[in-house]
């Protein structure tokens, strides 16, 4: 049988909800349940390719629209799949879908532009998984082969409460993380458990002075670990400039302290730390505008989930090389299928020059067979099994789907959740 004789027979999307900690951020706080969608693409010979992506309602609807687009394709038709998805999700087509049925409303506002990229990515990973299984090769080999044996991740610290306001299950093992000393303890635990060699702090939560004090405490406790702070654009330009005077000595990079590309460009004139982003350069259009502004935002945090997939992330890597920009990797609450996809692509992009972000240590539950993916010395070994290298644990999938059905969360809303703790929480941004 020729590889192209094997066609796509069925696409299944299963929304899941898994436990997530009370992690604080600029918008508010994580809800007790994080949502993802597990994509399974089945071929005529009975193989199943896996993908993992966002599980909020607009994404589920977008995937519903995308399912029939795979009809008649082979897992090797990535370009044709992408063209079909682009045609179905270009703004006019999206408007028509939205007009057709109110409940069809896809991702709102500026995110509309990302619908095609998000859908392409979810499908591409599952199709690459199938290709790898058919060719008996890991995905990284389909991307040109690994340039490293393992992919380094950073310890991703969050200010956090000890437990959720709603108390839907027993508190996690991490305890409260509010004071600088508690954050040092959180970092120590994460470094001890996983061996991370870089540390990132999710900021934009407390007064900048408190977050700077936390970074100082971490610097003292971990003199050799590069440190990053990410206030998620919750600091005004003036606050970011002022904070830079102290942070410049302490940070490996200063991630999205202030909103807009223009704000970041202005900030760059007043600080020494390189500026990194996953907020102001999220599409090729924004990439071009960053170039027009003189590439003042120096490090791009790629994320295959919204950049359009693994091959698109490789293309982004090339673009960063051309414009002499650094490259790192962003994450959101995710499970092992995503971690594997991130690891394959990071292994195939030579200029991923920083340890990548991952929320994985915060997740207790899994949907893949064989237990949690291991970190050694802060890194995940590049998989060598065919395809993604992971299989679904069907019982776990059923359990996490049941949690989705009963948890009541349908769209992530960190602000609404925060108001359960602080009813007058404004959600104003930038707040400091």
Ligand X SMILES: O=C([O-])[C@@H](O)[C@@H](O)[C@H](O)[C@@H](O)C(=O)[O-]
Instruction: Cite the active site residues.
Output: 202, 330
Give whichever of 61 and 334 is closer to ligand X, judged by the CB atom.
334
Give whichever of 78 and 299 is closer to Mg ion, judged by the CB atom.
299
Restricting to residues 236-265, which ones interact with Mg ion according to CB under 5 A?
A: 255
How far apart, in Å, are the Cα atoms of 236 and each of 121, 139, 281? Answer: 33, 42, 18
Which partner, ligand X, Mg ion, none, binds residue 332 by CB below 5 to 8 Å per kind? ligand X
Closest CA relative to residue 20, chosen from 233, 207, 235, 172:
172
Pick from 52, 56, 124, 230 the residue near ligand X by CB under 6 A. Answer: 230
What single string gives the DSSP state of each residue in 311-346? HHHHHHHHHHHHTT-EEEE---S--HHHHHHHHHHH
161: Cβ contacts below 8 Å, ≥ 6 apart: 22, 24, 29, 176, 178, 421
Restricting to residues 107-146, which ones interact with Mg ion according to CB under 5 A?
A: none
What single string gives the DSSP state of each residue in 246-273? HHTTT-SEEES-SSSHHHHHHHHTT-SS
Please tell me the count of residues contacting Mg ion according to CB under 5 A.
Answer: 3
**Which listed range, 29-37, 65-73, 276-284, 344-352, lies at the site for Mg ion (CB under 5 A)?**
276-284
Q: Would you count residue 202 as binding ligand X (CB under 6 A)?
A: yes
Closest distance to ligand X from the beta carbon of 257 (Å): 11
Alpha-carbon torsion (281, 284, 285, 291), positive or negative: positive
How far apart, in Å, are the Cα atoms of 323 and each of 148, 229, 317, 352, 383? Answer: 23, 24, 10, 14, 30
| The residue to which tokens 């590889």 are assigned | 3
Closest distance to Mg ion from the beta carbon of 230 (Å): 4
Q: Are strands 33-43 and 48-54 parallel, antiparallel or unpaired?
A: antiparallel
Restricting to residues 317-376, which ones interact with ligand X according to CB under 6 A?
A: 330-333, 357, 359
Which partner, Mg ion, ligand X, none, binds residue 344 by CB below 5 to 8 Å per kind? none
Alpha helices, H only, 67-179:
78-89, 91-100, 115-135, 139-142
Cα distance between residue 268 and residue 99, in whole Å: 43
Pick from 278, 314, 333, 363 the residue near Mg ion by CB under 5 A. Answer: 278
Closest CA relative to residue 90, chosen from 53, 55, 123, 120:
120
Pick from 14, 25, 121, 186 the residue near ligand X by CB under 6 A. Answer: 25
| The residue to which tokens 């009963």 are assigned | 406
Count CB neighbours of 163 within 10 A. Answer: 17
Which partner, Mg ion, ligand X, none, binds residue 240 by CB below 5 to 8 Å per kind? none
Which partner, Mg ion, ligand X, none, binds residue 366 by CB below 5 to 8 Å per kind? none
Which partner, Mg ion, ligand X, none, binds residue 25 by CB below 5 to 8 Å per kind? ligand X
Closest distance to Mg ion from the beta carbon of 277 (Å): 7
Counting Cβ atoms within 10 Å, is residue 377 exposed (0-12), middle (13-18) or buried (19+)? exposed
Give whichever of 278 and 338 is closer to Mg ion, judged by the CB atom.
278
Q: Are 128 and 49 in contact (CB under 8 A)?
A: yes
Which partner, Mg ion, ligand X, none, binds residue 52 by CB below 5 to 8 Å per kind? none
Please tell me the count of residues contacting ligand X according to CB under 6 A.
Answer: 12
Rg of the chain (C-alpha set): 21
Q: Would you count residue 232 as binding ligand X (CB under 6 A)?
A: yes
Give whichever of 49 and 361 is closer to Mg ion, judged by the CB atom.
361
Which partner, ligand X, Mg ion, none, binds residue 417 by CB below 5 to 8 Å per kind? none
Give whichever of 156 and 404 is closer to ligand X, judged by the CB atom.
156
Closest distance to ligand X from the beta carbon of 9 (Å): 35
Restricting to residues 16-35, which ones interact with Mg ion according to CB under 5 A?
A: none
| Neighbour-count burial for 55-83, b at 16+ CB within 10 Å, e otherwise | bbbbbbbbbebbbebbeebbbbbbeebbe
Q: Would you count residue 53 as binding ligand X (CB under 6 A)?
A: no
Give whichever of 211 and 255 is closer to Mg ion, judged by the CB atom.
255
Residue ranges that bind ligand X, judged by CB under 6 A:
23, 25, 202, 230, 232, 278, 330-333, 357, 359
Residue ranges that bind Mg ion, judged by CB under 5 A:
230, 255, 278
């Amino acid at each position: 049988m020729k590889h192209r004789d094997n066609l796509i027979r069925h696409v299944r999307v299963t929304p899941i909800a898994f436990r997530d900690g009370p992690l604080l951020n600029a918008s508010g706080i994580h809800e007790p349940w994080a949502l993802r969608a597990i994509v399974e693409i089945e071929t005529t010979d009975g193989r199943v390719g896996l993908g993992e992506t966002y599980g909020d309602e607009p994404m589920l609807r977008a995937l519903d629209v995308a399912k029939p687009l795979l009809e008649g394709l082979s897992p090797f038709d990535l370009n044709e799949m992408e063209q079909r998805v682009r045609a179905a999700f270009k703004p006019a087509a999206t408007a028509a879908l939205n007009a057709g049925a109110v409940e069809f409303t896809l991702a709102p506002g500026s995110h509309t532009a990302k619908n095609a990229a998000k859908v392409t990515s979810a499908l591409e990973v599952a199709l690459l998984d199938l290709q790898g299984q058919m060719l008996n090769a890991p995905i990284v080999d389909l991307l040109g082969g690994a340039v490293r044996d393992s992919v380094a991740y950073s310890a991703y610290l969050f200010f956090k409460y000890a437990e959720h306001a709603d108390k839907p299950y027993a508190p996690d093992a991490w305890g409260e993380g509010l004071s600088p000393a508690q954050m040092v303890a959180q970092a120590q635990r994460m470094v001890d458990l996983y061996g991370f060699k870089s540390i990132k702090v999710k900021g934009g939560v407390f007064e900048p002075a408190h977050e700077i004090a936390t970074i100082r405490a971490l610097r003292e406790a971990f003199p050799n670990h590069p440190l990053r702070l990410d206030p998620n654009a919750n600091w005004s330009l003036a606050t970011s400039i002022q904070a830079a005077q102290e942070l410049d000595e302490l940070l490996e990079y200063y991630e999205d302290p202030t909103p807009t590309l223009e704000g970041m460009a202005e900030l760059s004139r007043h600080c020494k730390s390189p500026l990194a982003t996953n907020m102001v350069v999220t599409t090729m259009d924004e990439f071009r505008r960053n170039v027009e502004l003189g590439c003042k935002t120096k490090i791009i945090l790629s994320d295959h989930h919204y950049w359009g997939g693994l091959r698109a992330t490789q293309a982004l890597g090339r673009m960063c090389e051309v414009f002499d920009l650094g490259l790192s990797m962003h994450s959101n609450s995710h499970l092992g299928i995503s971690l594997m996809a991130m690891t394959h692509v990071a292994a195939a992009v030579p200029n991923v020059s920083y340890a990548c972000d991952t929320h994985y240590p915060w997740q207790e539950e899994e949907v893949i067979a064989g237990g949690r993916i291991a970190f050694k010395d802060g890194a995940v070994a590049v998989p060598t099994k065919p395809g993604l290298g992971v299989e679904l644990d069907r019982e776990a999938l059923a359990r996490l789907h049941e949690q989705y059905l009963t948890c009541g969360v349908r769209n992530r809303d960190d602000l609404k959740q925060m108001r359960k703790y602080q009813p007058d929480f404004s959600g104003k941004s930038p707040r400091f």
